Amino acid sequence: MRPLRCAPAALLWLALLAGSAASAAPTRAAYALIIANNTGTEPKQAPLRYADDDGARYYELFSSRTQETVFLSVLDADTQALHPGLAARTRPPTRAALKEALRQLNARMAEDKARGDSPVLYFVFTGHGKRGPAGEGAVSLLDGAFTRTDLYSQVIAPSTASFVHLIVDACDSYFFVNSRGALPVAPAQVQAVKGLLATRELTRYPNVGAVLSTTREQESHEWSAIRSGVFSHQVLSALSGAADVNADGRVEYSELSAFVAAANQGVEDVRGRLEVSIQPPALDRAAALVDMGDKARLGFLLLPAGLEGRLWVEDARGLRVAELHKERERSVVLGLPPAQGYFLRGAGREASFRFARAGAVVDGAGLSWRDNALAARGAMEDALRDRLFSVPFGPRFYNGYMASLGQTPVAPEQQPDLSP
């Protein structure tokens, strides 16, 4: 493997990260509370297959980037086999366990604030959701529904975090965060969601951002090829660094929104379409969902300019941990847990790599590729395999997307000269 050469813009923050090892402790203190539940609260809700797998992936992503990550789930046998030892670090997703986890995390974040730090809380849910007769949304815990009222009274209002990032992958999750009211259907729905979001109670908490799947119950999408919900797979890919359009090591809400839009734009089969609502905290619309420069315990894969097309990373367990359609001109850095061996895969070829330690950088330009053939079957499999991530994501798509919304984009990519 050849050493990193020249100075693509994506290397700027990697160089700064490497040079800051002896600096003072960061002021940003991050925590995550992840809830994943395959079962619903109503007999008509068929058990999900991969909500617990999504929760396990969120756990692996955030446990390498936070001071503490709490995971509430009952992992099925397949998920426990893929994640040895993780079951021992989980608690059942009950109301009592959720209340105790929030109490402990709020106490720690209050201590951080007293020291002058800025604590951040990720609240993640994957599983069943529903909208009740009165229009109030709820998600399913093992011992009953956790409603929108519960979310505001138990999670948001008493939080001691400086910022709260809500990530919810559940049916009708828009109504879990926002007040009652019928949403229109068909293509107008997404724009209506964006308009309604600014008028609901979330505006009372300007430090809270929300990443929501607004998909209706009958349209929940799980894909066996990736053992994941499609929405969570896209969010996890984005937060691994694939959405970092300006190569600053941070993923902001606008970058995530554009990344998800690009990933789904080519899907023509209505069964595969996602409808989402992504709203940054009003207090700071440029707040980062993740910052890979926060001394995260990660390894970094550099996908250099010149490498293009639909790419994904699988770990040694066969789990697809990140996916993107890369523009040729841009460099991308993916932050991944360093303990696993990995394969970088594209159309008909693959290259293996691993990180020697946390903080190590692997240059994708130096990987050795070999032929590989992967297969999927079934009409829905074909729709997802062939059309998801079929649109390249990068500055061109992002700038056009932001212009179509009339919103301010992230700061432009810098081109530093890191040559000797």
Whether the pLDDT of residue 28 is over 50: the answer is yes
Q: Which helix H or strand E contains 58, and what residues bound it?
A: helix 51-63
* 8 Å CB contact between 330 and 323: no
The pLDDT of residue 413 is: 67
CA 186 to chain centroid: 25
The CA angle 379-346-55, to the nearest 5 degrees, is 70
Mean pLDDT, the chain, whole residue set: 81
The pLDDT of residue 235 is: 95
Whether the pLDDT of residue 300 is over 60: the answer is yes
CA dist 171 and 184 (Å) reads 16
CA dist 167 and 235 (Å) reads 9
Residue owning tokens 């300019």: 305
* The two structure tokens encoding residue 350: 């693959």
The pLDDT of residue 379 is: 37
Mean pLDDT value of segment 356-376? 82
User: Band of the pLDDT at 297, cuts 50, 70, 90?
Assistant: confident
| % of the chain with per-residue pLDDT over 90 | 50
Segment among 213-222, 312-321, 348-357 with least mean pLDDT: 213-222
Amino acid of residue 336: L
Greater pLDDT, 272 or 351: 351
Whether the pLDDT of residue 13 is over 90: the answer is no
Segment 130-158, tens digit of pLDDT: 887 667 788 999 999 998 889 999 999 99
Residue (of 276, 126, 284, 277) closest to 205 by Cα position: 284
User: DSSP per residue over 213-268, as a string?
Assistant: E---GGG--EETTTTEEHHHHHHHHIIIIIT-TTSSSEEEHHHHHHHHHHHHHT--
Cross-strand bridge partners of residue 32? 69, 122
Segment 245-264, tens digit of pLDDT: 998 889 999 999 999 999 88
Greater pLDDT, 237 or 371: 237
Whether the pLDDT of residue 174 is over 80: the answer is no
Greater pLDDT, 116 or 47: 116
The pLDDT of residue 201 is: 77
CA dist 127 and 247 (Å) reads 32
Mean pLDDT value of segment 177-195? 48
CA dist 254 and 278 (Å) reads 8
Mean pLDDT value of segment 262-282? 76
Residue owning tokens 């000797």: 420
Whether the pLDDT of residue 1 is over 50: the answer is no
Residue 219 has phi, psi (to 5 degrees) of -115, 15
User: Band of the pLDDT at 359, cuts 50, 70, 90?
Assistant: confident
Residues listed for the chain: 420
The pLDDT of residue 389 is: 82
The pLDDT of residue 376 is: 43
* 8 Å CB contact between 159 and 166: no
